[in-house]
Structure 1
């Protein structure tokens, strides 16, 4: 318990410091978010990954807080996925490369002896979809970090209920690292999470949920998994439906995510993140209560109904069609195009 508190505190402070240190090198190297009009460096996610791996690895190395069976492999696989994300941030990678890498990493961490082969295949599919959906949440200042903190705490409670102490410590470290990152990512953000941090966080959280539900029936497990990832699922569903109805390419970026549409309703950037964070807290709370047996599985229907209602309502909000004329910013030899 005391080590968990110390580890979380160290992760929070170290991430806050490292994110601030990495901001200038990212600006000078041109590692920027090309979706935005302003120059937003993207190495904040690297700070989250490095600090999480160091703090969790120190507990494993000293045997003060062993990660437990499979959790060390989970952390290594998540770091590998983060490496792919870092390459995508710096040089760009095709989406299919990120998907293939995430599939391989997920296939290496699923506990097939507890899930069985059919359940393991479903678990791999969930990890991949949830990881990519979480990456999609990184479209607004503070959103991915806020949802990540809430989800990490919820998954940590589920892990603690299963007496998976090492996994619970890892999730507390992830939550603390994201909190330290949020000190620089709250609107107006000074540094971004990027594919490196968003893929890492999504992979750790989705894999952790699979670990905590391994051995349970698929139906109840699917209910808990859905609740813990409801906001990311809602965002992904909204984007897929919106782009499908508009006959636009699914992978083409556009201002049609959750926070974008809430902004068009008149909410401030901070207000939209707070609202979505509250929604994430509500759905995660239901998932934790179902997992621990404090409430029945029917409570999940309220979460599903809320997700569908939100998607339908936000789908009716018009968004700009097509891409905005690109603007160009020049800094020395750097030329960044936003579109």
Structure 2
């Protein structure tokens, strides 16, 4: 217990200092998130990854809190995924390569002995998807960090209840590192997680949840996993549905996430984070109680129903602008090249149809200027 408190305190302080130090190099190298209204540096995730790995590894090597083979394998795989995310931040890798690499790493950490081959393959795909979803949560200030802290505490509680002390300490260290990072990511954010930190966080949380739920009844275990990650899953479902219904490409970015829609309803940036953090806390609490047997399966169904109602309600919030008119063939006549919108050869930016100018063969009535007599 004392080591857990000391490790969490060290992680919090180190992540706070390191995130502040990495901001200037990120700006100098041009590693910024351009999806926001103002460029935000992306190396905050590097601070979270380094601090989590160093503090957890120090406890393991010193023998105070051995992580165990499963937790060590999970930390190594999550670090490899973080390196892949950092490469995506630097060289703009395609999403399919990120998803494929994350899926391969997830296949290496799933406990097939407790899940079986088929359920293990499904769990590996789920881990890869949750990691990708956490990368999408990093679009707004404070969202990914807040949801990550709440989820890490919840899964850590499940691990502690299952006497998986090494995994519980690893998740506690991750939660503390994310809390230190949040000091710089709260609105207005001075640094962001980037692909490095968001993929690392999502992969570590999803992999730990699968390890904690291995050996339980498949239906109940799946319900607990969905409750522990209710907010990220709801965000992914909302984005996919809205883009599908709007006829937009699924890979095309847009202001259609949970935080964007809450802002459209009138909430501030901080208010949206508080609402999403509260929703994540309620869902995670139900997942922990269901995992420990304090509540039954209907409680998880309530979480699923609440998530579905929230998605359907926010789906009605308009976030896409009107479609752009094509230059040709869009049903709007366009002026020929060289035509102007007003007489005299001056163009009018608001004119759509050209004004036909009179020619010398047409009868034109010209009014002579009025003469004003002096006196």
TM bin (shorter chain):
over 0.9
In structure 2, the residue matched to 1:61 is 61
Match of 1:327 in 2: none
Count of matched residue positions in the alignment of Structure 1 and Structure 2: 324
- What is the RMSD of the two structures over their aligned residues, measured on CA atoms? 1.1
1:261 is matched with 261
Residue of structure 2 equivalent to 1:157? 157
Matches within 5 A, 1:157-196: 157-196=157-196
Aligned-pair distance for 1:322? 7.3
Does the alignment pair 1:216 with 2:183? no
Higher relative contact order (CA 8 A, sep 6+): 1
- Which of the pair is proportionally richer in helix? 1
Taking the aligned partners of 1:291 and 1:270, their CA distance within structure 2 comes to 31
Structure-2 separation of matches of 1:241 and 1:169: 37
Aligned to 1:199: 199
1:114 CA displacement: 1.5
Q: Distance in 2 between matches of 1:223 and 1:113?
A: 20
**Cα shift readout 1:200-221 (whole Å, capped 9, x = no counterpart):** 0000000000010111111000
After TM superposition, the score normalised by the length of structure 1 is 0.94
Kept in 2, the 8 Å contact 1:67–1:165? The answer is yes
Deviation, structure 1 residue 323: 9.4
* Counterpart for residue 242 of structure 2: 242
Q: Matched residues in 2 for 1:95 and 1:39: separation?
A: 21
In the alignment, the residues of structure 2 paired with residue 238 and residue 55 of structure 1 have an alpha-carbon distance, to the nearest angstrom, of: 36
SS of structure 2 residue aligned to 1:251: coil
Q: Residues 322 and 68 (structure 1 numbering): CA distance in 2 closer, same or farther, change over 3 Å?
A: farther
Matches within 5 A, 1:1-339: 1-321=1-321
The alpha carbon displacement at 1:126 in A equals 1.2
Deviations 1:113-170 (A, max 9, x none): 1111112112101101111111111111000000000000000000000000000000
Asked if the contact 1:254/1:323 (under 8 Å) is kept, the reply is: no
- Distance in 2 (CA, whole Å) between partners of 1:39 and 1:134 is 20
Question: Which consecutive residues of structure 1, in runs of 5 or more, have no partner in the other structure?
Answer: 325-339
Mean Cα displacement is larger for which, 258-267 or 111-120? 111-120
Rg: which structure is higher? 2
Aligned CA distance change for structure 1 residues 323 and 267 (closer, same or farther; 3 Å): farther
Q: Structure 1's 36 and 17: CA in aligned 2 closer, same or farther, altered over 3 A? A: same
Does structure 1 retain, via aligned residues, the 8 Å contact 2:36–2:139?
Answer: no
CA distance in 2, matches of 1:203, 1:157: 18
Aligned equivalents of 1:130, 1:305: Cα separation in 2: 20
> Which string of whole-angstrom CA distances, capped at 9 and with x for unpartnered residues, describes residues 179-218 of structure 1?
0000000000000011110000000000000010111111
- What 5-or-longer segments of structure 2 have no aligned partner? 325-375
2:347 aligns to what?
Answer: none
1:320 CA displacement: 2.6
The alpha-carbon distance between structure 1 residues 123 and 268, as it changes in their structure 2 partners (threshold 3 A), is same
C-alpha displacement of 1:94: 0.3
- The match for 1:328 is none
SS in 1 for 2:198: helix
Q: Which aligned segments of 4 or more residues in structure 1 are displaced greater than 3 angstroms?
A: 321-324
For 2:323 and 2:201, locate their aligned partners in 1 and report how far apart those are by CA, in whole Å: 29
What is the Cα deviation at residue 321 of structure 1? Answer: 3.2
Give TM-score, length-normalised by structure 2. 0.85
SS in 2 for 1:70: helix
What is the CA–CA distance in structure 2 between the aligned matches of 1:43 and 1:120, rounded to whole Å? 33
Deviations 1:211-255 (A, max 9, x none): 101111110000100000000000000000000001111111100
Q: Distance in 2 between matches of 1:322 and 1:110?
A: 45
Deviation at 1:301, TM superposition (A): 1.2
